[in-house]
Amino acid sequence: MTNFKNIIAKEISKIVNIQEKELETYIEVPKDSSNGDYAFPCFRLAKELKKAPPIIAEDIKEKLKIEGETIEKVEVVGGYLNFYINQKLLTKEVLTEISKKEEYGKSDIGKGKNIVIDYSAPNIAKPFHIGHLRSTVIGGALYNIYKYLGYNTIGINHLGDYGTQFGKLIEGYKLWGKEYNIEEDPINELTKIYIRINQLCKEDEKVLERCRMNFKLLEDGDPYCKEIWEKFRELSLKEFQRVYDLLGSKFDSWNGEAFYSDKMPEVIQILDKTGKLVESEGAKIIDLEDKGINTPCIIQKSNGSTTYATRDLAAILYRARNYDFDKALYVVSYEQTLHFKQVFEVAKLLGLDEKYTNGLKHVPFGMVSLSTGKMSTREGNIVKLEELLNEAISRAKSIIEEKNPDLEDKENVAKKVGVGAVIFNDLSNSRIKDEIFDWNQILNFQGETGPYIQYTYVRTKSVLEKAGYIPQIEEIKFDKLGDESSKNIINLIYNFENILEQVTQKEEPSILSRYLIDIAKSFSNFYNDNKILVEDKDTQNARVYLTYSVGKVLKIGAKLLGIDMPNKM
């Protein structure tokens, strides 16, 4: 499709002597469509040109030779240049593109680039709770969108399957394993052991020391510790898979922390050779004060066991060598910000090409807490994700029973609506915001929610069913879509690929979520303002095709977020 931003930037660059690629990044889409389709803020040029923005805008407008078939008019409003696109031309471009591409908005801008996304990463032998939901759905949405834009994307579930917690579980299992039915209900029973051993560790320092020693034995390959650990891991993964099946989550790699156990000696060896690895109270650390980080990065504990940092550094080395990544994203809560600052700084000492160390990026998100406070597995104060998803499905089914009891395939529709509501709730606001978990809010089926988008999609399907056909693009008279509500939809659909690019630029799926709400609202306005099935065949064809286009974009956009659309509700 025509890149109108590029056309505008190209013409302005001839006047202000700034490269068009840079100018293109300045161009905005006005919130109020009465201010044009695109706006160029002249404030950005004031310092360089030493003039007031409104004067700059008038000067540029005078010299611009852009008005014609593509750009209908240019207006100056304050310090802005507002550009109005030929609506008939835009409508033709958008609908023709929709007719040609099954996967509208898909592109190959990422061709030849490798993106590694590290997300979800629940801890083995612990409940998969709502705190893990955020990483799973944010990472999953980014994975889908990067892939849709042509990037070679590798999704990694970096399982928490190593560390002192396993030393604790092994100790608890040694003490009380026969009291618990781990085969029957692994996660719940292991959680009980974990809570119990933590309590004992608080009361008895010697027990805590034995737990630490168990992990050291596990690292050293002790057969008994390794056998128990493997059993915990296998049972946990079976439990986790049920949740992933409900969410539709898939990964290219399940290499967790334990995978790097034989790769950490190399990391320690490389760091040792730099002279930066020093001893402190028996532990080996990297001092980062000269990098503005006051807390040192611990590489090896005083008892010789490794840390999260060591394993993450081994993972960076492995991923650089095996995936040749351009960007490696870590979708992990903001509580780990210091950890990633330390690890990314130490990674510069591993002798890797700058391409890799520059491509490391922490994608932080806010925490999920209960209205009663922060969740903690140690205290047993959690909401299990599987229970939440099943409750959402159950509530969705109740609403369907009440509003449409004769609906076919109610179980499947309830699953799509319930799970979709949970996913959309998580992705609808900026990822950095903290969330207080509230059953009523997360399962609210009114307003700007996943079910609202699904309902709008179902409405488009209903219109097409009543029409009984989808017209061919050759039958469309584009000037029949000149009303304001039609124009708003066309402009939004045109912007779809740009929205997906913005998501990857900011690693922010909520940009797509908000966009889908805007599309749904715009269609609601169009539906209320225009009768779609009318006597005039040309008008009906145009409106039916626009309805079809809205449904197509809603379905693609929702799928990229990880949400399935029902055909009926």
Q: Which pLDDT band, with edges at 50, 70 and 90, does 444 fall under?
A: low
CATH superfamily of 385-561: Isoleucyl-tRNA Synthetase; Domain 1 (1.10.730.10)
Q: Which of 21, 61, 65, 132 is catalytic?
A: 132
The three-class DSSP label of residue 211 is helix
Q: Which pLDDT band, with edges at 50, 70 and 90, does 388 fall under?
A: confident
CB 285 within 8 A of CB 195: no
Q: Which of 5, 129, 339, 552 is catalytic?
A: 129
The pTM of the whole model exceeds 0.75: yes
- pLDDT > 80? residue 439: no
Name the least confident of 6-20, 171-185, 197-211, 433-447: 433-447
- Residue 566 DSSP symbol: P
What's the CA gap between 61 and 42, in Å, rounded?
11
pLDDT at residue 53, rounded to an integer: 94
What phi, psi does 36 have (nearest 5°)? 95, 180
What's the CA gap between 328 and 147, in Å, rounded?
14
CB 253 within 8 A of CB 157: yes
CB 127 within 8 A of CB 523: no
129 is annotated as an active-site residue: yes
132 is annotated as an active-site residue: yes
Q: Which of 5, 126, 327, 416 is catalytic?
A: 126
Q: Quick one: which H or E segment has residue 298? A: strand 297-300
What's the CA gap between 463 and 111, in Å, rounded?
38
pLDDT at residue 127, rounded to an integer: 83
CATH number corresponding to 114-370 = 3.40.50.620
Q: Which pLDDT band, with edges at 50, 70 and 90, does 68 fall under?
A: confident
Note the residue count of the chain: 569
DSSP output for 17-56: ---HHHHHHH-B--SSGGG-SEEEETHHHHHHHTS-HHHH
What's the CA gap between 238 and 233, in Å, rounded?
9
Domain spans of the chain, in order of start = 4-85, 114-370, 385-561
pLDDT at residue 372, rounded to an integer: 61
Crossing angle (nearest 10°) for helices 496-506 and 537-561: 20
Half-sphere exposure of 484 (CA within 13 A, CB side): 7
Q: Which residues of 219-251 are buried (b: 16+ CB within 10 A; e: fewer)?
A: beeeeebbebbeebbebbbebbeebbebbebeb
CATH number corresponding to 4-85 = 3.30.1360.70
CB contact set of 228 (below 8 Å; sequence gap of 6+): 169, 170, 173
Q: Which pLDDT band, with edges at 50, 70 and 90, does 1 fall under?
A: confident
Q: Which pLDDT band, with edges at 50, 70 and 90, does 164 fall under?
A: confident
| H-helix segments, 404-529 | 410-427, 439-442, 450-467, 484-494, 496-506, 510-529
pLDDT digits (tens, 9 = 90+) for 266-308: 999 999 999 999 999 999 999 999 999 999 999 999 988 889 9
CB contact set of 305 (below 8 Å; sequence gap of 6+): 164, 212, 215, 216, 219
